[in-house]
Structure 1
């Protein structure tokens, strides 16, 4: 066996060959082996025994070997045949079981008949459809399940099956209880190997519900073709009663005056039509239907809805209802049936109701539309009579109708004084030719007349200014026009006043301190005041010749389009945007767009204010707030870190107090220095003076400092200050400053002399202090210094411990300030008195 317990590829292939051997292969192998044995057996036997043998003994050995070989071949053949037989039987049983389950679980009926058309097999579904047990149907002839009137048709179909024709068709079968069931039948003839007819395989599906719905549709179509509106709803209720064989059918809608009640539009009960029956919805199945849900309760409906008094009064046993929907999916009403006996087939009733509901919904919409049309006509009639404008109908050049406003406008006592008069006679002589042409075009060409201002004459001879609009109108089949006349005398007076106010507004417009720009509703500039022209750097004529993209920055063109759309919609638009000056320089503005009338048409008035200085101020304030927030957070983090480090490195409260207070005071000192320069930077010499100046009191020079006049940026000042404080504190406690004769030298330099980005190098050297043993002596202070220089500033720190005293060398990158910034920091330090004298670069 190969490694891992798996067969080798050769063994696997060998087994595959044996599995594919057939009796023919084995017989052939048997013949080959036999002939081979006969021809070469002597040599094989002698080779095995290693000696010559006599003939008798050789024959015996060869015979035994041959019998053994034949036995093995027969065993292989018989074993394989037996295995194949068992497998075939197993597959056959599984296939039969699988098909049996399919047949028994099929939703279609399966019916096998022999050549004499007698039943040989039926599945459970067919028994269920016809109401029989399987034992009752087996052996019975097909015509026992047919109605007498259908046997002739069935005989013709059987003859076609015997001729080998397979077909699908609808057919009615008789159930055991004498009722019928409609089925769709798919039949296929069964023939033997010689092609002789031996029977039929039939698949049947119950389509009784479909047939009933089809009958209902035919009845519905017939009813729909006869009537419309309310009459159609009455016909639908009658057809529904007849189709379903129920006592009552109704179509109803929710009462417009009382939403908790419904009102029938059509109701047929025991053959009598009842109109507009109203009943309370609470506790009724109709309330459920109006929520958009079908309800079918075949029996005992009064028990399910005990609060429905109408059902109890009518003695209803079964109820079914379906909602009516409009085109938007909203429920508009219900259609329902009621019966004093149980409803027989709930699903068929539901299907039929849904079919009728669609038609009823359409007719209900028609009824509502007719009602709205009648109400609309009444409203129109009322509107015309009460209209503040004069309305008249002109036919063949004469007044055919006038409303009450027109009568008053013409100064007539009644409409009879006006009707029949020539229309032209009531217009000023100057306007009559134009009016006559408009009347001709209205009557002959049916072209509407645009609004036009004219003068009309009153019956008392007075004149009135009017605006006249007319549209074609046919009265009694004759061409005419419907004319609307508006008295514009007051408007004319107002226009005169408006012109005076416009002159006043022009003065304000010209002298406004903000830019005022007027655009048409397409976004084109049509007017601008002097301030707007000055703001953009153009003369008035030049500015009006520009398109918006020439003085509005590209980034704000989208806002300008939004402004036009907003104002066009009648709303106010406010935004901050960017315009550009004549030289192309962008500048910020605040704009407010409103709708206004200009030259008699809607325009957009844009108030434009230059907010350059305001934006700068806001930006400075924002930066200051951000900087303040950043610095406060950094300071709090630094104080917290110092507290934690001081706690970790001290053993008593007093030691913690001295350590922590000293470090915080060093921070405060550096902050004060930075504040004096407005956080632009601080001179390193000033930091050294603030930290070490106290040790040079009384004229002593215990600390000497040598280096360039270098300004540290804010981010470097705090770590350097804390580092120097730690070195000084250690020197006072243990180092050179702990003895009177001890002293400290501090030297610094930068790698770049041109004040560019470079590297700062600082050396702290203690002299004449307590002698050291030369060994490394580092504690918490050393760790703090490394944290400040190496991690905060990305630099390096080297401590040395010669006998003469501690030496600390530091180097860190430094973004050097420009020379003018450096000079400003130095001048401000001198001006504030904070820069130590005598600390010039040495």
Structure 2
């Protein structure tokens, strides 16, 4: 029978079912209890209600041929196999007229959610029997499926509980016949199911009165809790068991019982073994190599073995007249007593304690004590068992190790380099003061790999801590050498350093951590930078000097009378240049004071006439380029004064004065005045010599200054102006 009833005919003409459905208002379909949709004879979706749209998760358009056979996003068979819309039950209904009753499919929504649906489909025909379309009423049966699955799961769990329980379980009918037994029950007695099930339970009990009593109690509805009994196993052995059971009554009549069978055979065997072990314990008590003592609630010794007598260097009789407090050093007596009192009261089951003891000959020994309690069935304290081991040698070794560790810590703290250690996982375990100073922070608990705040590679790119040299050393278990990195402090300052991470291993070679030393290489980097700058500067100066020497050589050669004249003049000029270089080198090629330069150039040339030479002027510093050019000029002027000018006679004088002019747009200007007097009458040369050209080149072309050389009868005078680019002091 279809879930869709036939629709009544209209007054004018009896409509077909399909036509009637199409004529209905949308609200009529929405009022129907369930999801409903209608397809035409080609399968195109023409009507659906709101519940169908909600289950589909979409609202298909009906104003054209968009969705065929179904409005769902996808369809699947119950086993999960894809079900094309063209092969679904609706497709069969519109093409073949086949109906579907309570068929199951899986509907998938556009959001991927799937649910099982129960569909009922019927073809819709006109009055001549032609298929006009079909109607599908479907519903979400997720809850039904979930309930079925839950029932199935519980049945499986109950079956699994019965069959695979670790405790034997069997069901006995009211007349004593075994109806069912699980694996544990069969395994306990060694029977197969055919040998056990269907037989009377009394056949397997070793004691007939016992099984009779059990059945009688159960028939009366009494519950059994751990009822002791004995069962015969297939191999002839007897199993000691405890039976827990209750009855199932129906209309007051005993129908069956469920019995749990717990095998306690091992407990009986253990009891026998316990008695044997007590005998063995008594034999080994005194043979033990560690001290054993029993003490009452007050600490008085009740029993001691030979090892303890030997350890404490006291006789058995002497110890049995003492309490363990009597041989305990006063430094540990109160703590040991407090712990023992708590143990006696039941606050502690046991405790361990290290204490000192003094032997009769005055020797101090260290004892590790493990104290436990022996109590009766009511929990009342009977006596304490104290196991005592002499750990004097171990204690001395620990003290030595601790002292060694302290010395190592002191050593690491005293090192000027940053040092820290980690465990095998990279967690920081120790750091010295230098590490704190270098990193600019106190490492926090849980910090990993490095004490620094941030790390960078030498090219400035970030270096994650888990990729730093220390992390590599731990992960690859090898020392890392030759690496460099940059540490950034929280204040933003950076420190270049070289790390020396080295893995640490225990005696078995197992990696236990690592130690790292961070060497601050800031000064080295600064020195390298300064060295590079100096090399670059030296390279530049050497090139400039070579150009100057080349020019001196060329001009001297062009105006020399002969080779000896060339050698003399060229040597004089090169020596002047050399003296300027010496002065600049002493100043590390920084600004050179003018008075020092003038004295360095002139005084070696005028040794015999030094008293007739005056050098005066305010303090002024010259940059290396200006100093070299001015050296050449002063050398030329002095050489000419010695050979032809004022210093060629015994009465002539020479003065070099300078002053600083006011600042101009390009900086301050140095004005020098060279004046010769008292020498031979000066006559102007008929042609310009190499010296004049050299001086003009140095002042005007090289320095951008001006030079005015005058050959006056009273003496040569030369006025020079040079722009100063460096700093000067007046």
Identify whether the pair has TM-score above 0.5, normalized to the shorter chain: no
TM-score range, shorter chain: 0.3 to 0.5
TM-score by length of 2: 0.37
Structure with the higher fraction of residues in helix conformation:
1
